[in-house]
Amino acid sequence: MSSILMVGQSRPTGLKKAPEISFGRRPCHQIIWNGKQRQTSVLLPTDYTYLLQGRDGSPWHRMSAEWQQQRFTDLAKIPWDTTDTVRNLVGHPRSTKIRPEQVSFIDQADIPTLTTLSTQGKHEQLGELLIRSGRLARITVAGGEAARFRNPGDLRPKALIEITDEGPLANETYLSIMAHDHLLTQQRFQPSSPIPWLLFVSATMRQNFEDYFKQHDYFGLDPDSIALFENTAYVPKFRRDGRIALIADMDGGETQEDRIAFYTSGHGALVQAYRENQIFIRGKRYDQTPHDFLAQRDVRQIFQSNIDNLGARTSTRGYSIVLGYYAAKEEESGVRMLVELTRPLIGIRQDGTKFFWDEGGVALNVDGVPTIVDGNALAESVLQQTRNPEKPFPFNTANATYGVESIPAGASLPDLIQVRNGLSQLDRNFWNLAGIIETAFVEVPRHIPDRLGELPPTKINQPVSRLSPFAETTGPIDGDNRFIPVKQWGHRRQAASLFVYITSYNHDLLLDRVKGTTKVLIVDDANAFREGTADLLRADGWTNIATAASREEALKLLADQDFDLIMLDSILEPENQQQEMTGGVSILRGLKDNPEARNHNARVLFWSGQESVEASKGLSVFQTQKYDGVEYVKKESVIPNQLTDFLAKLLLGE
């Protein structure tokens, strides 16, 4: 029999029969909340009526108004059909293990490595072309609520927690590091339009992200190219007895909180959200899905990664190769997704035994289809074959490149159950998508120097161990490392040190490349300074330098050639009495005020060596206009042996 339960801010109005109300074919209550503003209602199946009581069994009318409102809010967001699925899986567990007869191993020789692909310049060139032409977007899975990271009372998501309190990354967060890489990608490749960045976040944490972006002025990125979309697949966790769990039921929990324990059903929820959920830009909801947002911008490829992988960068040469390889496979054989694999780290305990310090889903053929399978889904005999410490299988980094149309509408992923903190929760694994769409793999390097070979504990009470290196771990392409995970609080400093090491290594390589490809124009009427600067740069490896001694020479070169960097004196001696001495100012204005100017997007080092009215005019122009990509300095502040680094930072937007 069905019924209506009327509840208000502080007291119930009783149970009444309501024969018309049902939930499918099962009896339920209609819960009507008499709020201050309006009346709202939800349906509650009668076999979940215990949720109308407090943790100690106290009836609704004895609970506080705050508890009543929170409980009603929680009931309103429960998807009862999915909840029943979870309860049935908890109550009647069935084996979901993949059996040996279903599995065939992929020949490791058939999985190309990034090191091998780097010798084929075509992939790198194609990847760079795609980024420059505005075909790439980025999706970051940033929904982690940092249960293993934050201190009691700290409600920030993992993405917004500081990585370390020391060194170059002091006070940087996972999000700020990824934002810097996104900006660096745009500065390096100068795409035809801003690279879209979508973040998949918890619905309860979205406002935290909105506020953080605003506080940091969107890190210099175009705010309209940044969109958030929510993981709205909230499903209650369950106790062992099949009842919906409260936060107080979690093992090891320090709280007695009488609230329903929810879980956002894993990163697999992204598959549905990508095609169905709305996006938020600058805090405003748009009636547009992530797929539509990207398709309307003519995006063709997407790079997806987790927020806690510091190695998931798009600004590096390594990613240009990955992107180019995916595009080639997509064209040649219809591949819809490319998953990056890497070798797990093998630790050596104090007694000399070896163990897997980290691990993840492995690439296998299941029923003849290449896919990614987590270890807990494999029969024990199959699992052991993938876990040879002397030659471990490469595993999933959670970095993937796929097409904007690759995630099919209506795709359904398997419902799996995992137990955490003593509670059962629904887990839909995004990587099961690899068994649905055509998927290829590439092995990417992990470059870890000996001095950073100390591995922090993977769990509480475990000792520190040492890395057992093998060739695949220490054989990088350009020192790249596309997998620097931070899964535990204790990993943060080691990951931060590794990230600094890798980015410094790559910065030097990128700097060499900048010197060899950047076209520089030096405009200065002081012959000694102009030619001396040109000689200094040539001696340091800059190979493509032109000079101009006057406004007229500079304008002719700027009209005829493309330049990446212009070193421009704010004061140029006039060639006749009708011209002002501020010829450099007019050149700067001509470039930056006219979007159609040939060298409008060139970086400019705008300088002066005089304390004069004219020099003040140049400084005033710079301060009032605030042109993008323009830096104003005094000549005497430019130290010769630091000039290369100064120019590189200007070019790379650092």
Is CATH 3.10.150.10 the right assignment for the domain spanning 518-652?
no
Instruction: Identify how many contiguous H helices and E strands the chain contains and give both numbers.
Output: 17, 29
Q: pTM of the predicted model, to two decimals?
A: 0.75
69-109 pLDDT, tens per residue? 888 888 888 888 888 888 888 877 655 678 888 888 888 88
211-264 pLDDT, tens per residue? 999 999 898 899 999 999 999 888 899 998 889 999 888 865 556 688 898 887
Judged against a pLDDT cut of 50, whether residue 616 lies above it is answered with no
The structural domains of the chain, with segments of one domain joined by +, span: 3-76, 100-513, 518-652
User: Where residue 378 falls among pLDDT bands split at 50, 70, 90?
Assistant: confident
Neighbours of 262 (CB within 10 A): 20
Q: What is the mean pLDDT of the chain?
A: 81
106-157 pLDDT, tens per residue? 888 889 999 889 887 899 999 999 999 999 999 999 976 655 566 666 778 8
User: Where residue 36 falls among pLDDT bands split at 50, 70, 90?
Assistant: low
**Strand pairing partners for 6?**
14, 32
- ∠274-208-272 over CA atoms, to 5°? 15
C-alpha neighbours within 13 Å on the C-beta side of residue 624: 9
> CA quadruple 194, 200, 203, 208: dihedral positive or negative?
negative
Q: Which of 112, 5, 92 is nearest to 48 (CA)?
A: 5
CB 21 within 8 A of CB 28: yes
526-541 pLDDT, tens per residue? 888 889 889 988 888 8
C-alpha neighbours within 13 Å on the C-beta side of residue 147: 13
- The predicted pLDDT at position 340 comes to 96
Give the DSSP H/E element, type plus range, for residue 56: none
- CA distances to 8, 34, 209, 300 from 5, in Å: 10, 11, 38, 52
CATH class of 100-513: alpha beta
